[in-house]
């Protein structure tokens, strides 16, 4: 509905000779919130946590990082492992990430204790990368995969072009096997930087349902032009952190494949 509403409003506004202007909107400065952006995946075989503070909306302030936290990772059935501080709010540790396993992450800082649990799912492999064109003649890359039948699977595609990560919100690709259980899927990625000779590294990431919903929620509010046409009023996505912090402890099983555009 968001896409349809967006198109309707754009079409309507254009046809109605609408005027657009930049307005000086006085945003309320909410209390600063702590952000815990944690990721464990099977590709890097490492745990990474960035602990920072939020900044006012519409500002270009750089965030303040928290350096004095105690971070512990507990793989299911094992004892806690301390994750040391590196720099710029980042805590990291090389670690073999295992598929189909639960992980618990605990963080203590400034008299705040929070924890999050996440299930690292099984990996789904990329069968092949197909280079194609859409009807507009733009280059697209299709990631062919065989969805495992009989279970709900949730996916994300992350990619880089010539080593440069495409991590902008418009390049975040999320999909599930809802209505396509057990089928051959070929989700596509489109980027105007796709050109002959460029190397594209594609990561097919599988994740839990709750993590997928978190990213969907994040996607719906992160497109800054989308405020006006979400069906629900925008709100913070539901985090897996126990306390009053923002962010998510994400775990991914990742398969990768690369292709050079001919």
Partner 1 sequence: MHKGQILLLLAFFILGPLPLSAQEKFTLSGQITDAANGEDLPFVNVVVKELPGVGTISNVYGFYSLTLAAGTYTIEYRSIGYENISKQIQLDSALTMDIEMAVPEQGEVLKKVTVTAQKKDENLTRTDGSVTKINIKDVKKLPTFGGEPDIMKVAQLSPGVKTAGDGNSGFYVRGGGLGQNLVLLDEAPVYNPSHVLGFYSVFNSDVLKGAELYKGGMPAEYGGRTASVMDVRMKDGNLKEWSGAGGVGLIASRLALEGPIKKDKGSILLSGRTSYVGTYLKLSDNETINRNKLYFYYLNFKANFKLGKKDKIYLSGYTGRDVLRFDDLFGLDWGNTTATFRWNHVMSKKLFSNTSVIYNDYTYNILVNFLEDNLKITSSIRDFNLKQQFSLYANNNNTLKFGFDVAHHSLSPGVVSSENEDGNVVETDKNYGLESAVYLSNEQKIGKKIRLNYGVRFSMLNRLGEGNEYMYDEAGNLTGTTFYESGEIMNTNYGIEPRLSSSFLLSKNTSLKLNYNRNFQYLHLLTSSTTSTPIDVWVMSSNNIKPQIADQVSLGYYQNLKDNKYEFSTEVYYKGMQNVIDYKTGANVFLNDFVEAELVYGTGQSYGVELLFKKKVGKFTGWIGYTLSRTEHKFDAIDNGNPFPARQDRTHDLSIVAIYKITDRLSLSGNFVYYTGDAVTFPSGQYTLDGITVPYYTERNGYRMPDYHRLDLGLTWDFKKRKKFESSLNVSLYNVYGRQNAYTISFRENEADPGSYEAVQISLFRWVPSVTYNFNF
Note whether 257 binds partner 1 by CB under 8 A: no
State which of residues 46, 117, 186, 216 lies at the interface with partner 1 (CB under 8 A).
Answer: 216
Stretch near partner 1 under the rule CB under 8 A, chosen from 11-19, 68-76, 110-118, 119-127 = 11-19
CB of 68 to partner 1, least distance (A): 19
Residues 163-202 that bind partner 1 (CB under 8 A): 165, 167-169, 172, 179, 190
Per-position b or e across 224-260, b if 16+ CB within 10 A of its CB: eebeebbeeeeeebebbbeeebebbbbbbbbbebebe
Q: In what order do the strands lie in the sheet with 112-120?
A: 81-83, 70-75, 101-109, 112-120
Q: Which is nearer to partner 1, 9 or 82 (CB)?
A: 9
Question: Rule CB under 8 A: is residue 27 a binding residue for partner 1?
Answer: yes
Residues numbered 218-237 forming contacts with partner 1, rule: CB under 8 A: 218, 220-222, 224-237
- In the range 87-126, which residues lie near partner 1 by CB under 8 A? none
First and final CA of the chain: distance in angstroms? Answer: 37
Stretch 35-64 residues interacting with partner 1 (CB under 8 A): 35, 37, 39, 52-60, 63
Q: Binder to partner 1 among 85, 154, 155, 248 (CB under 8 A)?
A: 248
Residue of 8, 78, 149, 184 interacting with partner 1 (CB under 8 A):
8
List C-alpha distances in Å: 84 to 64, 71, 91.
18, 7, 5
Compute CA distances 123 → 2, 19, 70, 99, whole Å: 30, 49, 30, 7
| 203: contact with partner 1 by CB under 8 A | no
Selected from 80, 82, 130, 238, the binder of partner 1 by CB under 8 A is: 238
The structure tokens listed for 244 are: 């009053």
b/e for 172-207, b at 16 or more Cβ within 10 A? bbbebbeeeeeeebbbebebeebeeeeebbbbbbbb
């Amino acid at each position: 509905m968001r896409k349809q509403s967006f198109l309707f409003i754009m079409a309507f506004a254009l046809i109605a000779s609408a005027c657009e202007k930049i307005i000086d909107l006085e945003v309320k400065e909410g209390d600063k919130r702590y952000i815990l952006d944690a990721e464990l995946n099977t590709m890097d075989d490492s745990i990474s946590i960035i602990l920072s503070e939020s900044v006012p909306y519409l500002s270009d302030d750089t965030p303040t990082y928290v350096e004095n936290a105690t971070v512990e990772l507990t793989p299911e059935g094992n004892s806690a492992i301390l994750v040391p501080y590196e720099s710029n709010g980042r805590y990291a540790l090389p670690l073999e990430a295992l598929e189909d396993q639960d992980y618990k992450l605990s963080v203590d800082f400034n008299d705040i204790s929070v924890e999050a649990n996440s299930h690292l799912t099984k990996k789904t492999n990329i069968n092949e990368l197909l280079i194609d064109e859409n009807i507009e003649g733009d280059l697209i890359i299709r990631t062919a995969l065989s969805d495992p039948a009989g279970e709900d699977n949730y996916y994300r595609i992350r990619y880089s072009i010539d080593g440069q990560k495409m991590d902008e919100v418009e390049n975040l690709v999320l999909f599930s096997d809802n209505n396509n259980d057990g089928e051959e899927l070929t989700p596509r990625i489109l980027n105007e930087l796709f050109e002959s000779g460029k190397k594209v590294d594609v990561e097919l990431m599988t994740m839990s349902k709750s993590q997928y919903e978190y990213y969907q929620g994040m996607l719906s509010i992160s497109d800054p032009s989308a405020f006006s046409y979400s069906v629900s009023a925008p709100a913070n996505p539901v985090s897996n952190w126990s306390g009053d912090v923002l962010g998510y402890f994400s775990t991914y099983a990742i398969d990768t494949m690369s292709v050079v555009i001919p």
